[in-house]
């Protein structure tokens, strides 16, 4: 039989939580698909189109722990200077980042968060292209590390030129 010394049992001490990243929501913020030359553009599918895609990532703090991350995909397919289709997608997510050092926030927000959003945005684009009457456009994986490094280098260049 266990006995106590008459005192209250010591309350368990709260353990410090480790770093965490949680997806609170994901959504289509803006989407446009254009098939400006249909149905003529559907007849030109014998040629391989020239496809260009631009990628951009933006972040907006919502609170001390919550951030909105927007992945913007802008693209078009052309054959012989004629546009087959074009799309613009802004796919967003709200992420909660807790117990993460301040220096680690930018890479998480600009690399890991868009990396989590990308497969969903890729599927939206592929389905829109199929529904536009074309074979699916399966976007290649995006090097978010490279994009982040380019952004950091660009900001450093701007600061250097501003100081000069």
Rg (CA), the chain: 24
Q: How many angstroms separate the CA atoms of 132 and 85, rounded?
A: 8
The first and second tokens of residue 97, run together, are 């980042």
What pLDDT does residue 41 have? 75
Q: Mean pLDDT score of the chain, rounded to an integer?
A: 87
pLDDT band at 2 (very low <50, low <70, confident <90, very high): very low
- For the ranges 2-16, 102-116, 121-135, the lowest mean pLDDT is seen at 2-16
* Residues 81-90: tens digit of each pLDDT: 888 999 999 9
b/e map of 30-69 (b: 16 or more CB within 10 Å)? eeebebeeeeebeeeeeeebeeeeebebebeeeeeebbbb
The first and second tokens of residue 90, run together, are 């802004």
Percent of the chain at pLDDT exceeding 90: 62
Q: How many angstroms separate the CA atoms of 127 and 133, rounded?
A: 10
pTM to 2 decimals?
A: 0.81
């Amino acid at each position: 039989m266990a006995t106590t010394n008459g005192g209250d049992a010591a309350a368990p001490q709260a353990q410090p939580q480790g770093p965490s990243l949680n997806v609170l929501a994901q959504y289509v913020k803006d989407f446009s698909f254009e098939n400006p030359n249909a149905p003529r553009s559907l007849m030109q599918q014998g040629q391989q189109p020239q496809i260009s895609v631009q990628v951009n990532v933006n972040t907006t703090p919502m609170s001390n722990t919550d951030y909105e991350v927007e992945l913007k995909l802008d693209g078009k397919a052309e054959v012989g200077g004629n546009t087959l289709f074009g799309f613009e997608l802004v796919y967003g997510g709200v992420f909660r980042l807790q117990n993460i050092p301040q220096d680690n926030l930018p890479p998480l927000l600009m690399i890991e968060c868009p990396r989590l959003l990308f497969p969903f945005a890729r599927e939206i684009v592929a389905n829109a292209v199929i529904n536009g009457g074309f074979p699916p456009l399966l976007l290649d994986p995006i090097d978010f590390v490279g994009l982040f490094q380019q952004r950091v280098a660009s900001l450093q260049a701007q600061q250097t030129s501003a100081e000069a």
